């Protein structure tokens, strides 16, 4: 489980917004949405995002510069993320596969190095778009 953090006001506002969103949100679209709640500057958004990523409440989809809430209740997911991305409709889903995460968590490279963290993005066409 995630360690419980008490979110601050800005963090809570921004987390709630991302959590309710059916799709990943971009920073400036978040900014636009929360301006009515008094969050006016990009930095206020980025600071909250940074913290939320750090504590594992949200993840960043690196190839899209977008943020999605974590719905994965297993441990340490913030350090081990996998997503599927539809290249047509841009539907993005967090993949939760025990075998995948086990494989990657145990992966060692040629030098025997193990990694503390990874991010994997799969691309293809979703059911609808095929």
Angle of helix 9-20 relative to helix 27-34, nearest 10 degrees?
110
Residues 68 to 127 in contact with DNA, rule: CB under 7 A: none
Closest to 84 measured CA to CA, from 109, 105, 59: 59
Residues 47 to 76 in contact with DNA, rule: CB under 7 A: 47-48, 50-51, 65
36 touches a second copy (CB under 8 A): no
84 touches a second copy (CB under 8 A): yes
Cβ closest to a second copy, residue 4 vs residue 111: 111
89 touches a second copy (CB under 8 A): no
Cβ closest to DNA, residue 16 vs residue 100: 16
Closest to 119 measured CA to CA, from 37, 60, 41, 34: 60
Q: Are 74 and 96 in contact (CB under 8 A)?
A: yes
Residue 62 makes CB contacts below 8 A (sequence gap 6+) with 119, 121
Site string for DNA, 1-30 (x = CB under 7 A): -----x-xxxx--------------xxxx-
**Burial (Cβ within 10 Å: 0-12, 13-18, ≥19) of residue 33:** middle
How many other C-beta atoms lie within 10 A of the C-beta of residue 44? Answer: 16
Query: According to CB under 8 A, which one of 58, 62, 67, 106 is a site residue for a second copy?
Result: 62
The minimum distance between CB 8 and a second copy, in angstroms, equals 26
- Give me the residues that bind DNA (CB under 7 A), please: 6, 8-11, 26-29, 38-44, 46-48, 50-51, 65
């Amino acid at each position: 489980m995630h360690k419980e953090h008490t979110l601050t006001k800005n963090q809570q506002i921004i987390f709630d917004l991302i959590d309710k969103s059916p799709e990943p949100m971009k920073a400036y679209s978040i900014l636009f949405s929360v301006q009515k709640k008094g969050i006016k500057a990009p930095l206020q958004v980025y600071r909250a995002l940074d913290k939320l990523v750090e504590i594992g409440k949200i993840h960043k989809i690196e190839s899209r510069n977008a943020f999605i809430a974590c719905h994965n209740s297993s441990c340490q997911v913030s350090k081990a993320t996998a997503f599927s991305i539809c290249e047509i409709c841009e539907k993005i889903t967090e993949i939760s596969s025990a075998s995948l995460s086990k494989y990657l968590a145990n992966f060692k490279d040629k030098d025997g190095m193990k990694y503390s963290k990874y991010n994997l993005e799969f691309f293809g066409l979703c059911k609808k778009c095929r």
